[in-house]
Every structure is written in structure tokens, then in C-alpha cells.
A and B are shown apart, each in its own frame.
Chain A
Amino acid sequence: MSALLEVKDLKVAYGSILAVKDVSLTVNEGEIVTLIGSNGAGKSTTLRTISGLLKPKGGTITFQGQRIDGKEGHEIVAMGLCQSPEGRRIFPRMSVRENLDLGAFLRNDKEAIEADRERVLDLFPRLRERYEQKGGTMSGGEQQMLAVARAMMGAPKLLLLDEPSMGLAPVLVDMIFETIIKIREQGITILLIEQNAAAALDVADRAYVLESGRIKMSGNASDLAKDDAVTKAYLGG
């Protein structure tokens, strides 16, 4: 296994306030890695920096052996690092079809795009039913499916999922996490940011625990799920 994504000593600031103080993490090819932590720990900031929306104050981010910190968002997407953003952020006035089209915005390989379209629609049959419906008129769960499907239309090598379970009914949360496993089976590496630590540790291979902008713990997900400190802080044990 080789490192697909490597984040080293990352520091990110909003103005003079350091939101991410010291984050180092590695995602190897084929893994599901989760980054858990409470609200405000710096999870989304880390992720936004990886995807190029924020510029780091220090540290490096390497994707497929290439430095990507300092690159523009669209260049990073073009390299195969796609994300389903926090709060879903689907295009509300566009249909499912148009949303998926935009997911493939940077691609020109028509046939491969069509193949991917079939693939994501198989993964989320619900979206096929809603194909011409406007995104904004769908339920929260359907919007989340669309957000993930849209990210997959960019042919990601690494898929970043930011809080995919946020605001969803428990049955939908299960469904989303089952799909995450299916996506990995298709050969896509996943970095999952979650507040729902129990569910995240359940599907992930490895995990990092983020607290006040620093990595507090890391290790195999199954080990962390049994760890006393983690259980106390994040699993309500």
C-alpha cells in the first residue's frame, strides 16, 4: 500500500486564529480513513484545506506524490480529489441529472462519464427515480445521496466525505454508511469526516481523532472504538 494522500504538520488560520494547529495524516490507497472529533475541532477546516478552498499557514499536503497545497481548487479536482461537502450543497434549482453533469464538469471522456453515471445511479437507485426532479425539492437523505453521487461523477481517486450523516434519520445514516463500503469496493479511497464517531469507526479501517486543531490519537478504527478515552469522549460510553 502506498500513501495516496499525505498531510504533514498542517496549520490553518482564519485571520490570526489557528483553527488547525498541527495535523498530520496519511490515507493509503484503497483505505477508508476517518477523521473524527467534536464540533469545532477543525475537521472541516482540514478538509477544506486539502481540497484547496483554504490556503494553509504551514505544513504540506501531498496527493499522489505531488504537492497540492497552494494549488487552486479546480486543479485539485482535476487530479482526482473530489468531495461531497458539508451540508450537501447540491445545486437546488438543478435537476439530479444536471447536478451529476456538473460533478463531471472537468471531464471530457464522454463514454466514461456515461459509464460513471450508470454506476452511481446503480449505487443510488433512488436518484434514478428522481432523475429529472430539482435537487432543492428532494428530502435531506436524497440530497445527501446526490451530493455523494455528484462527487463520484468527478472520477475521484480519493473521495472526501464531509459529515455525510449530518441531519439524517438513523435508517438513512445506515444506508449512507453501507454505500460508503460499496464505494470502496469499487476501488475508490475514502477520507471520511464525521461527528457520528460510532458509525464512522464501524466502517473505517483507520481513524484519527482531532481535538482543538491537533491530532490526539490515531490507529486502527476497531482499536480506537474500544479505547476508553475515545469511548468516553465520542461514543457516549
Chain B
Amino acid sequence: MTATKKLRVATTSLAGCFGCHMSFLDIDEHLFELIELVEFDRSPLTDIKEVGDCDLGIIEGGLCNAENVHILREFRARCTKLVALGACAVNGGLPAQRNHFKLTEILEEVYHTSPGLANGLIPNDPELPLPLNKVHPLHEVVKIDWFIPGCPPSGEAIWKALTDILAGRDPDLGFGMLHYD
């Protein structure tokens, strides 16, 4: 029996495509090593809905609506360290390509004026989170401790960054693993 306490880790996908989580699963058999070192709190892997007190929060995706911001702030309040995982979390990524257009114009086009959308209505249910005017990367709203760029970062890069962090080092990807695309 080892007396070492496992680190508690939460993960979530905000304005992302879950590609970074899929890439995270690409660490393959390293998952067996990882599970010896960490236990998962809120994450798509556990289906826990509310984030508890954690040592590490890993966040994929940027911020495109009010709920994204709410969850990010919860993660910041509950996690000792936060990691921005992937292009969208780091610089807004694909969702931020809408930043050149007015939100009203986008909603009009998506729900009203595109062909085949006769009488479309812009969804306005109070349950739906309100879209932000612009998409933002995480570090523009809360302090982020580490960044892992890539669209997505490779499983190899994610494993290298995680092992660096678990060993108490800043992630150092180096040539061949550091990519922005």
C-alpha cells in the first residue's frame, strides 16, 4: 500500500469540440499509470456534474457563452492549478473565428435567412445560456497556470505535459510536440 495521496483532477470541455479529450484518451496505456497518480472529479470520464475541491483542473475550449464563464470561474475557485488544454482554450480557436461578425448577424443568418429556414425563430428559452458578444480564451477571464497548445495537442504532448506537472515542473513540450495546429 502506498501512502501517497492521489491528486484530484477535474476536466471539462467548454467552447470546444471534445477533440482534446479524445486526444487525452490517446495516451492509451499511460492511462493505467495516470490512474495510479490521480483520481477524477468532475469530468466527462466520470459524469460527475459539479466540480469539487481539486488539485488540478484541465479545461478544453474557450468561452462562447455565459455558462462557459460560470463553469470556468467554478473551476478556478475549486482547483489549485488550472491547465488550458488546446487551441480554443489558449487563443479562442475555431469558435473565435466568429469574432469578426456581429452576434445578431450570426443569429439572423443561422436561424432566419439561410435557405430552408422559413419562419425560423432565434431560440430564447431561459434555460439556454446567453452567447457572449465575442469568444474569448480562458486567460482573458481567470488566471491560467499552464497552457498546452495544439488543435488538438497530441496524446504524446498531453502525456508529457501531465507528467511534467505531476512531477512539479512547468510543462516543456519541445520540438516535435509543441504545435499550434
Does B associate with A?
no
